[in-house]
Amino acid sequence: MTTFDERDTELGRARVRDNEDLEAYYAELDRLDAGALWTVANDIEPWEPHAFAVPVLWPWAELRGRALRALDLVSPEEAGRRVVYLRNPQRKDISAACGLLFSGIQVMRPGERAPGHRHGASALRFIMEGAGGYTIVDGHHVDLGERDFVLTPNGTWHDHGVAKDGEICLWQDGLDIPLVNALEANWYETHPDDYQTALYPDNDSPRTFGSPGLLPASYRWQKSYSPLLRYGWDETYEALQKAASVGHGDPFEGVIMRFTNPHTGGHVMATMGASMQMLRPGEATKAHRRTGNIIYQVAKGSGHSVIAGKRFDWQEKDIFCVPSWAWREHANASASEDACLFSFNDFPVIEKLAFSRSEGLAENDGHQYITEN
Ligand code: GTQ
Ligand code: FE2
């Protein structure tokens, strides 16, 4: 029963060998809904952070058509949300894409609306395709364009739609559903009116809170999430380019900007953070790893990442994940164009619980050996 690896011979690790007396003893404890710690200690106290999820790349070339097919198979009214979710092969039981994060592709056609609801889980969205999409968050109507990043924090009423004269819209939903379920804290309510009506002028959130370095002087914000509900692509890309122009950069990430709550400078929501990074033409980063899970979407360009020794080639709109403590490094395939990666993560949870740990790879000039193909 006790499991060993070579290091488990060290004093301070469990190294009890089974024998007949012990087995009888374990059976007695089992009948009492109890057990001997030394039979499980080496499993429940791993030497290093252990991820259940494996790295996965979901190719948009395969996913897009499958998501569009759902348009003809179910309505938003029947489905609640018309979403194809991304399921890590090692996390099927909890419907997670990576760690305790959920990811799905939501698809809506012009004139459709998805019914309003709210829940204990928080959501974010990254718009992949289509014009005319919008979401209403607690009465705030927000228009959505390609590569915009939008929040629907926990407990907020939300419903989405596409204007009648819009296009078919596809976006990635990122939620902390598996986390909230693991903490046994999730709940769900449908909206009493089925659909919200906007209570404020359209786009009042980005228009009030979305100007760099400026906040309304009289505003007092008490909530756990950012008052800025949408981060537009144009401003985000411009921020990356400006930082790159003055030499800003990181050997592990390229040029990376974290989406922030303008009120606090902290993460956008209590449980999930997000970033946009730019790999300059020809740039290849060095390998590092950290505690926490990351789901990436290729916002622009093409390249590859090496994750836990395996190479994943990516194109625009592909989605891939990096489980906790897996080595990761990224490379832009182009010598003339930049490549941008949107990502969201569970870092706010890791940081608040004081579980942050990270390291760079020392060997082989900071690059992984590719061990698997
Ligand atoms: O849009 O409200 O992909 O509640 C999963 C759960 C989307 C949503 C998802 C949700 C939503
Ligand atoms: Fe929802």
Structural domain contains residue 341:
yes
Reduced to 3 states (helix: H, G, I; strand: E, B; else coil), residue 277 is strand
Whether 108 is in the pocket of ligand 1, judged by its Cβ within 6 Å, is: no
Distance from residue 73's CA to the centre of ligand 2 (Å): 20
pLDDT surpasses 70 at 373? no
Q: 210 and 305, same structural domain?
A: yes
Whether 300 is in the pocket of ligand 1, judged by its Cβ within 6 Å, is: no
Reduced to 3 states (helix: H, G, I; strand: E, B; else coil), residue 279 is strand
187 pLDDT band, cuts 50/70/90, is very high
Q: 74 and 19, same structural domain?
A: no
* 273 DSSP β-pair partners: 345
Distance from residue 86's CA to the centre of ligand 1 (Å): 13
Whether 81 is in the pocket of ligand 1, judged by its Cβ within 6 Å, is: yes
Q: 223 and 282, same structural domain?
A: yes
pLDDT surpasses 90 at 253? yes
- The pLDDT mean for the chain works out to 96
Whether 172 is in the pocket of ligand 1, judged by its Cβ within 6 Å, is: no
9 pLDDT band, cuts 50/70/90, is confident
| pLDDT for position 7 | 84
Structural domain contains residue 372:
no
pLDDT surpasses 90 at 3? no
Nearest CA to ligand 1 atom 10: 81
pLDDT surpasses 70 at 79? yes
Give the whole-angstrom CA distance, residue 150 versus residue 143.
10
Structural domain of 27: 6-44
The model's pTM: 0.97
Q: Is 292 left (phi over 0), alpha (psi -120 to 50) or beta?
A: left
Are 325 and 291 in contact, with CB atoms under 8 Å apart?
yes
2 pLDDT band, cuts 50/70/90, is low
| pLDDT for position 5 | 78
Nearest CA to ligand 1 atom 8: 81
Give the whole-angstrom CA distance, residue 360 versus residue 287.
6
Q: 152 and 121, same structural domain?
A: yes
Q: Nearest-CA neighbor of 331 among 303, 301, 364?
A: 303
Distance from residue 117's CA to the centre of ligand 2 (Å): 6
Buried b (16+ CB within 10 A) or exposed e, 54-93: bbbbbebeebbeebbebeeeeebeeeebbbbbbbbeebee
Q: 172 and 34, same structural domain?
A: no
pLDDT surpasses 80 at 163? yes
Residue 270's H or E segment, with its range, is none
Q: How many domains does the chain have?
A: 2
CATH of the domain at 248: 2.60.120.10
Backbone angles phi, psi at 99, to 5 degrees: 55, -125
pLDDT tens per residue, range 35-47: 999 999 999 999 9
pLDDT over 90 percentage in the chain: 95
Nearest CA to ligand 1 atom 1: 81
**Sign of the dihedral through C-alpha 247, 253, 255, 257:** negative
Query: Could you give the C-alpha distances from 48 to 14, 289, 291, 336, in angstroms and in order?
Result: 16, 12, 10, 39
| pLDDT for position 372 | 72
Whether 104 is in the pocket of ligand 1, judged by its Cβ within 6 Å, is: yes
Whether 83 is in the pocket of ligand 1, judged by its Cβ within 6 Å, is: yes
pLDDT surpasses 70 at 242? yes
Q: 178 and 299, same structural domain?
A: yes
Distance from residue 214's CA to the centre of ligand 1 (Å): 31
Mean pLDDT value of segment 203-207: 98
Q: 223 and 130, same structural domain?
A: yes
